[in-house]
């Protein structure tokens, strides 16, 4: 099964309002020549979603939320549901990002519920997993990554090939310390093998993105690895040209 590459930009708490619309327009412009085997997604802050989705109508760049709450509606002040993201023009949602896990106390169980809610609503989850530096140094990388993965993999298996996994070593996020292609490929291959134990079709169809300080100058060696199917890009996604260069680094 051939998997298309997916390059997703996580804008985090940046580029809201008019800045977001301007950035989205620039991304659409800069990525026009990206090869057809690459899908493109940007994840603006909630308040910019509808305007960015409007700006990207008829363009190849799609829109993601950065989070959701697993309930569809009700007394959950400050939260946004999967149906609301769909209404705002999203087709995707980033879930379980390490910043959500570390700063906002998200547990594996909550990430499971969020993945399930996204899949139920028809929103494609980009579910993030990854170890901290301390865990890597204690040789616990796969134990941690498998625990996080096992929490939601049965949900992904309900529609094999639909949901996406992002392996993001926490020590590489926003630090400029990128995993070597060998380090990344080793974990990606282990994740795919774990999925294979559940269902070979799931393993073959699921895109596993790498995330952690991906930039235009390191993207091609990472994307050339057999089990790396794209990138989740933070800081470098705020520069339209740099984001486009990452997308153009995907092998054809
Ligand atoms: C991220 O936020 O998912 C990320 C990978 O950030 P950065 O590219 O800035 O390391």
Percent of the chain with pLDDT over 70: 100
- Cross-strand partners of 127: 95, 165
Where residue 1 falls among pLDDT bands split at 50, 70, 90? low
For the entire predicted model, the pTM comes to 0.98
CATH label of the domain that carries residue 151:
3.20.20.70
CB neighbours (10 Å) of residue 187? Answer: 23
Rounded (10°) CA dihedral 154, 156, 159, 165: -160
At 14-51, the pLDDT tens digits run 999 899 999 999 999 999 999 999 999 999 999 999 99
Where residue 2 falls among pLDDT bands split at 50, 70, 90? confident
User: How many domains in the chain?
Assistant: 1
Contact 4, 38 (CB under 8 A): yes
* Calpha distance 224→115 (Å, rounded): 28
Pocket test for ligand 1, best of 101, 211, 247 (most atoms within 8 A of CB): 211
154-to-146, 151, 194 alpha-carbon distances in Å? 13, 8, 12
* Calpha distance 33→244 (Å, rounded): 9
Ligand 1 centroid, distance to 213 Cα (angstroms): 6
Higher pLDDT residue, 1 or 16? 16
Ligand 1 centroid, distance to 247 Cα (angstroms): 15
Q: Is 20 in the pocket of ligand 1 (CB under 6 A)?
A: no
Structural domain span for residue 120: 5-248
Q: Is 10 in the pocket of ligand 1 (CB under 6 A)?
A: yes
Answer whether residue 74 shows pLDDT above 90: yes
Percent of the chain with pLDDT over 90: 97
In the 8-state DSSP scheme, what is residue 17?
H
Tell me the mean pLDDT in the region 53-64. Answer: 98
At 159-185, the pLDDT tens digits run 999 999 999 999 999 898 889 999 999
Q: What's the confidence (pLDDT) of residue 17?
A: 87
Ligand 1 centroid, distance to 95 Cα (angstroms): 13
Of 112, 135, 168, 188, catalytic: 168
At 98-151, the pLDDT tens digits run 999 999 999 999 999 999 999 999 999 999 999 999 999 999 999 999 999 999
Answer whether residue 71 shows pLDDT above 90: yes
CB neighbours (10 Å) of residue 170? Answer: 21
- Is residue 168 among the annotated active site residues? yes
* Calpha distance 235→243 (Å, rounded): 10
CB neighbours (10 Å) of residue 49? Answer: 24
Answer whether residue 223 shows pLDDT above 90: yes
Residue 87, classed as helix, strand or coil, is helix
Contacts by 188-194, CB closer than 8 A, 24 or more apart: 188/225, 188/227, 188/228, 189/226, 189/227, 190/142, 190/145, 190/146, 191/129, 191/145, 191/149, 191/165, 191/167, 191/227, 192/227, 194/146, 194/149, 194/150, 194/153
């Amino acid at each position: 099964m051939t998997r298309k590459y997916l390059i997703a930009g996580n804008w985090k708490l940046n580029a809201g309002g008019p800045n977001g619309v301007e950035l989205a327009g620039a991304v659409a412009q800069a990525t026009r020549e990206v090869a057809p085997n690459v899908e493109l997604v940007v994840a603006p802050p909630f308040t910019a979603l509808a305007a960015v989705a409007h700006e990207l109508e008829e363009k190849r760049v799609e829109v993601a939320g950065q989070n959701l709450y697993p309930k569809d509606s009700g007394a959950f002040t400050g939260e946004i549901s999967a149906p609301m993201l769909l209404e705002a023009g999203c087709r995707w949602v980033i879930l379980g990002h390490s910043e959500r896990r570390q700063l906002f106390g998200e547990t594996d169980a909550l990430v499971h519920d969020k993945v399930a809610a996204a899949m139920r609503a028809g929103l494609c989850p980009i579910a993030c997993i990854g170890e901290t530096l301390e865990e890597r140094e204690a040789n616990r990388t796969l134990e941690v990554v498998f625990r996080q993965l096992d929490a939601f993999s049965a949900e992904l298996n309900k529609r094999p090939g639909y949901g996406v996994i992002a392996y993001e070593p926490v020590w590489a996020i926003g630090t400029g310390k990128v995993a070597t292609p060998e380090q990344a490929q080793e974990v990606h291959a282990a994740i795919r093998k774990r999925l294979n134990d559940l269902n070979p079709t799931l393993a073959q169809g699921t895109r596993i993105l790498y995330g952690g300080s991906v930039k235009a100058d390191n993207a091609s060696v990472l994307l050339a690895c057999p089990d790396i199917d794209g990138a989740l890009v933070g800081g470098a996604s705020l520069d339209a040209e740099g984001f486009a260069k990452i997308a153009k680094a995907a092998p054809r």
